[in-house]
Amino acid sequence: MAESFNFRPMVSLPDELSGVQGIWLCVERNMVLMQVSEGRPKLPEGGHPRDFGLYSDHEHFLGLLDGVPVWAAGFDQPVRSDDFQAQNLFSLSAQLDTGTWALAGRAVQIVEWHRTHQFCGRCGERTEPAQGERARKCPSCGLLNFPRLAPAIITLIERGEEALLARGRNFGNPMYSTLAGFVEPGESIEEAVHREVREEVGVEVTNLRYFGSQPWPFPHSLMIGFHADWAAGEIAIDEAEISDAKWFHADDLPNIPGRISISRWLIDDWLRRQGRG
Ligand SMILES: [Zn+2]
Q: Domains, the chain, ranges and CATH?
A: 7-116 (3.90.79.20), 150-273 (3.90.79.10)
DSSP for the chain, written as a single string:
--TT--EEE-SS--GGGTT--EEEEEEETTEEEEEEETTEEE--EESSGGGGT---SEEEEEEEETTEEEEEEEESS----TTEEEEEHHHHTTTS-HHHHHHHHHHHHHHHHHHH-SB-TTT-PBPEEPTTSS-EE-TTT--EEPPP-EEEEEEEEEETTEEEEEEETT-SSS--B-EEEEPPTT--HHHHHHHHHHHHH--EEEEEEEEEEEEETTTTEEEEEEEEEEEE------TTTEEEEEEEETTS--S---TTSHHHHHHHHHHHHTT--
Q: How far is the CA of 117 from the centre of ligand 1 (A)?
A: 11
Q: What is the pLDDT of residues 140-167, one digit of tens each?
A: 999 999 999 999 999 999 999 999 999 9
Q: How far is the CA of 131 from the centre of ligand 1 (A)?
A: 17
Q: What is the pLDDT of residues 116-136, one digit of tens each?
A: 999 999 999 999 999 999 999
Residues at Cβ < 5 Å from ligand 1 ion: 120, 122-123, 125, 138, 140-141, 143
The pTM of this model reads 0.89
Q: What is the pLDDT of residues 52-65, one digit of tens each?
A: 999 999 999 999 99
